[in-house]
Each structure stands twice: as structure tokens, then as C-alpha cells.
Chains A and B, each alone.
Chain A
Amino acid sequence: AQSVTQPDIHITVSEGASLELRCNYSYGATPYLFWYVQSPGQGLQLLLKYFSGDTLVQGIKGFEAEFKRSQSSFNLRKPSVHWSDAAEYFCAVGVLLAGGTSYGKLTFGQGTILTVHP
């Protein structure tokens, strides 16, 4: 069975500092990996995803993530954090659902809460 581990429950950074959120996955096949962000009272929003190809993927809001198969990792990075980035971030691995038409069966990590200091 697949699993996702986010080792850091809570991270605090200063505005303008760089950010890296860690994600490790366990999956028997080629993983389909995602990063989502959840702000209070808001739905989960997709930041980026990796399926194949270039291991460095760009997402929205200036985020990027790098897939490293040898380390089973998919870490999220941002060079300069803004106060509006404060939220909870989830890494997830997608599994192909019955019918083979959807990867919407996501296994999420427990999340990393990001606090941004001014």
C-alpha cells in the first residue's frame, strides 16, 4: 500500500526567506505526486503535480518541487516566502482508480503547517 510521510509538522520562516517542505513517499509503481495547500476555511488547492518527465516541476504561486526517485522524495520549495503563504501544505500520491480514468484516489501526508513571521 502507498504512504506519504511529511516529517515536519510545523515550520516557521521569516518573510523573504527560502522554504523547503519535505515529503517522502512509498509506492510500488511510478508515483503520481501532488502538493496541495489548505488555508483556513478554504478548500484544498493544487500547487503542482508530477507524473513523468522533468523531475523539477513548477507550480503556482512561485512554488516548485523536485522528484528524486533514489530518495523517494518530492520536496516543495520556494525561494522567497510571502506572508500570504502561511497555510497547511499536504503532499499526496495518486493511485489509478477503477476504470483507469482517474488518479483521484489520493493518499495524503499528515501535513506541514507553515507560519510566516514578518
Chain B
Amino acid sequence: DTGVSQDPRHKITKRGQNVTFRCDPISEHNRLYWYRQTLGQGPEFLTYFQNEAQLEKSRLLSDRFSAERPKGSFSTLEIQRTEQGDSAMYLCASSSPRQAINEKLFFGSGTQLSVL
């Protein structure tokens, strides 16, 4: 168990550029979540995958945001035409296929995005 891995740890970009983040969940975990955390706030849910299917998206996920999990393993989160308001920590979490009440989410350390 190597934990949830996120890459890169930090990303600095200019407004209007596109950025892509990667999340590698724990190997046997079929559920994957993306959250966003701004300074001084708790994380906010963005989207949820079960295997390769994206089952739920928050209305926070505007049309500039797209997430994929093509083979049910790693996931990518892309932000197009970045805005300064996109500056945040983007967190990924995964969990194993067990009964919902026994589920435990494992979070990665996040990707810190700064949009200049």
C-alpha cells in the first residue's frame, strides 16, 4: 500500500493556460474522488468515479473542468483557460469496494495550483 499519489505537488501557471493533474489511487481501490480546498476552507467535493464511470459531478465543476479515469485506474483532472479563482489545493481520494457504511477514504497530499 503506497498510498494515493498526486502529481505534480505544485503547479504555477498563467491565467488562460490549461493545466492537468494526475491522481494514482491505491491499487485495489475502484472508487476515486476529487476535491478542491481553498485557503482557510474545508475541502469541497468535485466529482466521483466508480471504476471508469463518472457517477457524480458537483456544480462547482464548471465546463472548464473535466475529469477522466479511462481505465478505472489513474485519473486526470484538467482545467482549461485557468482563472485566478482556480487557485487552490486539488485533492484526490480513493476507497476500496466495500459496503458504504464501512467505506474509508484515503486522501493524497494534493496538487497546489497557483494561477498568476
Interface of A toward B, CB cutoff 8 Å: 4, 32, 36, 41-46, 51-52, 90, 92, 96-111
Kindly state the separation between the CA atoms of A92 and B45 in the bound complex, as whole angstroms: 11
Check B40 against A97 for contact (C-beta < 8 Å). Answer: no
Check B109 against A101 for contact (C-beta < 8 Å). Answer: no
A41, A42, A99 interface centre (most CB from chain B within 10 Å): A99
Name which residue of chain B comes closest to A49, CB basis: B104
B33, B105, B106, B107 interface centre (most CB from chain A within 10 Å): B105
Kindly state the separation between the CA atoms of A108 and B91 in the bound complex, as whole angstroms: 13
Q: Which of A41, A52, A98, A103 contacts B109 (CB 8 A)?
A: A41
Kindly state the separation between the CA atoms of A111 and B106 in the bound complex, as whole angstroms: 18
- Answer whether residue B22 sits at the interface, using C-beta atoms and an 8 A cutoff: no
- Answer whether residue B4 sits at the interface, using C-beta atoms and an 8 A cutoff: yes
23 A–B contact pairs at CB < 8 A? A36-B107, A44-B43, A44-B93, A46-B104, A90-B42, A97-B48, A97-B56, A98-B55, A98-B56, A101-B50, A101-B100, A102-B31, A102-B95, A103-B101, A104-B93, A104-B103, A108-B43, A108-B44, A110-B40, A110-B41, A110-B42, A111-B40, A111-B42
